[in-house]
């Protein structure tokens, strides 16, 4: 869903 922010770092 769009409610989640994408964290692309580990």
Q: Which residues form the interface with other proteins (CB under 8 A)? A: 1, 3-10
- Tokens linked to 8: 């692309």
d(CA 1, CA 10): 21
Instruction: State in angstroms the smallest separation of the CB of 3 from other proteins.
Output: 6
Q: Where are the alpha helices (DSSP H) in the chain?
A: none
Instruction: State in angstroms the smallest separation of the CB of 9 from other proteins.
Output: 6
Instruction: State in angstroms the smallest separation of the CB of 7 from other proteins.
Output: 6
């Amino acid at each position: 869903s769009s409610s989640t922010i994408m964290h692309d770092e580990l």
